[in-house]
Chain A
Amino acid sequence: MNATDLAGASNAAVYASMSTLSVAMIAFAISFASGRRRTQQAQTQLPVFASIGSTAVLTRPEPKVPAEAEAGRIFANVGMSLTWLGFVLLFVGVVLRGVWAGRVPWGNMYEFSITSALGILGAFLIVSLRRDVRWLGLFIVIPTLLTLGLAVTVLYTEAAQLVPALKSYWLIIHVSAAIICSGAFTLAAATAGLSLVQSRSERRGRSVLAKVPSADKLRTLTYRVLAFAFPLWTFAVVAGAIWAENAWGRYWGWDPKETWAFITWVIYAAYLHARSTVGWRGDRASWVAIAGWGAFIINYFGVNIFINSLHSYSGV
């Protein structure tokens, strides 16, 4: 395969992934909406799914699942399968991009973005192997699609060589840690956001999001994801500092990118503190988790594009 073929194949895989994920998003959205009206009897509205659903009831010893909720579950499963497919396609796209460029595919913002999208999906799918998080699918696929959409429209650049400052194995260490964190932070922001909605409806005594676990469970999930991501982010920042020492002669220089990495870190440290501070445990801690993600996003898009920084490798 020559270079143009590789480029075309990579782009095609990314686009195919986006289409797949768009369908996944619709499936998740239908599933989500059907869960909201669980109390209404809607068997007559969806006879087809009810009959498909009955086979599922046979295999699963769960008593009397309303037909519509059952349909919702099927859509959720379709969404999950499509998300896996989208993940694989995106993986192929990222790998081909790397092969095309002859290096790790993290040389500019287009490449960071498609890899981060892969990180978001990966974080979600890994969690989905261990517990049922189909209800979360919609809130994962949407940010992934937004990231990919931005990548292919605004941020797209042809592959090129790395600028000398990026030619270092620290690139691989530092950036891969940051990309995994981007996935975990996004996941945690989604669960934290849902926990806020959930806790509001719990206070009002009715559940809007019937499919979604209780606010308490969501908070615990948020905590677990962040308890994993925080040390990794610490590592990413330290690795970045070591690299900066190697490249520029100082391990910390308050460059805007470094500053926002620090701000992100401090906010997540505050989140961990909030979890053990009376009066901060519930919704407030969730807000702090969302704020941390906000700082991460500002660092990712804002600093790369709008602020003149040593780290401006965006290529846009």
Chain B
Amino acid sequence: MNKESPTLPPMGTFGFLRYTWRQLTSMKTALILLFLLAIASVPGSIFPQRGNNPLLVNEWIAESPTFGPIFDAIGFFDVYSAPWFAAVYLLLFISLIGCVLPRTKVHWRAMFAPPPPAPRNLLRLPESMAFEVGAPANEVLARGRRYFSARRWRLLEADNSISAEKGFLRETGNLLFHFSLILILVAIAVGGLFGWKGNVIVREGQGFSNTLTQYDAWGGGRFTGASRLSPFSFALDNFKVDFDRSEAQRGAPSLFEADVTFRRAPGARVETARIEVNTPLEIDGAKVFLVGHGYAPHFIVRDLGGAVVFDDSVVFLPQDGNFTSTGVLKIPDSEPPLGIEGIFVPTVASNNLRGPISTFPGPDDPAVFMSAWRGDMGLDAGAPQSVYRLDTAAMEQIGIRALRPGQVWTLEDGSGSIELTGFERWASFQIAFDPGKEMALLGAILAMTGLMLSLFVRRRRVWIAVASTPEGVTVVEVAGLARIESADLPGELELIRAAVSDLSHTPSGKTVIDSTVVKE
């Protein structure tokens, strides 16, 4: 062997590529990439992520104008889709494939190869022993063979030795585990490319049909067309929610369920279902999850002459755990246009000093605090406007007022009146379709199976060698090798010794040389 060869890589383009590939698929690289993956995941748990909470991200950036845009540029708000994050896990998986494929080939060959013949001096191995048996050599070997065959070891027999090997499932399990990781990655990719996810708010008594225009928010993978949306529809018939009144967890939700009627397709039979937090409704592979709820106060707006210009409930969005909720009522058709900003409070604070803030999420004492505006609300400007925000830049405030259900506010400028008739509830649903999730589950199950095999199966080799002495006894040497400490080889060797010795025939009946003696 040339002395420099281990340190100097063979050069030339091909040599260099091969060198790089070897480095990439080495165990040390895998280790470092695993560390990198762990470190790269951290920022995503510290900074808000667009995928989970886009509003919080905008707030964060708005609050720190210097660092916000920098962090944004390096992807700290989209860590798990950032190129550097992808680079780490893709490199890891390339390394994984480059590592696992050759190992599969080696393992495949090894599975059909006989165990290696016995080394010449068995007692040199760290775990070994020698002893005398009264039976002839071939009888000892036969007993050894029976021992191994009964336990399904793989055997190689020679004239005066046996090689035996067991525990191939360890490596099989290890390979299965690593391949399953690839399967999980593919499943995630399939879900990302072909899946979709949308959110919609449905008021009690209202319905939803599964088309893009009906969603409040919708996101799909590159290969998801709107055509992939199955044509189901459902209506929220009844929504029940209850809150804890105990002192310790006052206000924590204790019940949360939505009764719906649905059709799998227009014209199909009507079915009913109850959707709860841990029990979504599944239709055509898409799942409908109950994710949130809130209040929708009901208003009747009349004009100067008393004619009704608006009569409906309006979705208000909760702002805190006690469901202090904000919303907007827009009546662009009245003359001049009327806009109302409101805060719905399900339970008014008894000391009204804190302003419109709720003290309990349940509707114990509901009220709406309103501020009415007239003027141009900017709807004609063409830019799409949020239904939850009123652009008051060009409007004039005409008054503020708090209403309890049943109360009427006659507007100060005499242009009409607003009545709060009561409130309804709404529920928000997330509807998700992930065609990769079964594959991911399969991958996870296979990975766990492989992992257990790989960690709990003991792989070991054992050799038995015999030699007859002139006195008519047989000297037996037994030795073993295992790659892990937990293999308990000494115990195994003891079992083999017991199996091949027939103690009644042993002249001296005692061990001649013991492994520990040999080593010392």
Contacts and interface: CB of A to CB of B under 8 A. Distances in A.
29 contacts: A158-B249, A160-B244, A160-B246, A161-B246, A164-B253, A220-B486, A230-B455, A231-B455, A234-B448, A234-B451, A235-B448, A242-B441, A247-B289, A248-B291, A249-B430, A252-B188, A255-B52, A256-B44, A256-B45, A263-B38, A263-B41, A267-B35, A267-B38, A269-B34, A270-B38, A273-B27, A273-B34, A295-B38, A303-B45
A202 to B, nearest CB: 18
A13 to B, nearest CB: 20
A294 B25 CA distance: 28
A49 B31 CA distance: 51
B247 interface: yes
A126 to B, nearest CB: 16
A8 interface: no
Interface string A247-272: 11111111110011011001101100
A164 B27 CA distance: 45
Contacts of B247: 158
Nearest to B436: A251
B277 interface: yes
Contacts of B249: 157-158, 160-161, 315
B444 A241 contact: yes
Interface stretch (A51-59, A204-212, A274-282): A274-282
Contacts of B35: 267, 270
A245 interface: yes
A254 B38 contact: no
Given A234-B451, A266-B41, 6 more contacts: A161-B246, A161-B252, A238-B444, A245-B437, A247-B277, A267-B34
Nearest to B247: A158
Contact of A307 (B45, B279, B289, B291): B45
B278 A164 contact: yes
Interface residues of B, number: 54
A249 B280 contact: yes
A160 B188 CA distance: 37
Nearest to B80: A254
A267 to B, nearest CB: 5
A243 B444 CA distance: 14
Q: Nearest 5 CB-CB pairs, A to B?
A: A158-B248, A160-B249, A249-B432, A256-B45, A270-B34
Given A158-B248, A249-B197, A259-B44, A254 B51 contact: yes
Most chain B Cβ neighbours within 10 Å, of A254, A274, A276, A278: A254
Given A164-B255, A231-B455, A266-B38, A274 B432 contact: no
Contact of A273 (B30, B255, B432, B452): B30
B404 interface: no
Interface in B447-478: 447-448, 451-452, 455-456
B426 to A, nearest CB: 17
Interface of A: 157-161, 163-165, 167-168, 170, 220, 223-224, 227, 230-231, 234-235, 238, 241-243, 245-256, 259-260, 262-263, 266-267, 269-270, 273-274, 276-280, 295, 303, 307, 315
Nearest to A310: B52
B28 A164 contact: no
Nearest to B432: A249
B74 interface: no
B41 A164 contact: no
B251 to A, nearest CB: 11
B52 A254 contact: yes
A245 B248 CA distance: 30
B37 interface: yes
Contact of B41 (A165, A170, A262, A279): A262
Q: For B46, B248, B432, which residue has the most chain A Cβ atoms within 10 angstroms?
A: B248
B41 A259 contact: yes
B259 interface: no
B287 interface: yes
A303 B46 CA distance: 9
Contacts of B28: 277-280
Contact of B44 (A220, A230, A254, A315): A254
Among A159, A170, A234, residue most surrounded by chain B Cβ atoms (within 10 Å): A234
A181 to B, nearest CB: 14
A263 B42 CA distance: 8
B256 interface: yes
A314 B451 CA distance: 32
Interface string B19-45: 000000001101100110110011011
Find the residue from A251, A255, A280, A295 having the highest chain B CB count within 10 A. Answer: A251
B252 A251 contact: no
A160 to B, nearest CB: 4
Contact of A248 (B30, B244, B430): B430
Contacts of B279: 246
A218 B225 CA distance: 57
A274 B451 CA distance: 16
B49 A254 contact: yes
**Which of A231, A255, A315 has its CB near the most chain B CB atoms (within 10 A)?**
A231
A295 B41 CA distance: 12
B183 interface: no
Contacts of A230: 451, 455
Contacts of B516: none
B348 interface: no
B252 A160 contact: yes
Contact of B37 (A160, A170, A249, A266): A266
A109 to B, nearest CB: 13
Contacts of B30: 273
Interface in B409-430: 430
A234 B452 CA distance: 10
Nearest to A158: B248
B38 A250 contact: no
A123 to B, nearest CB: 17
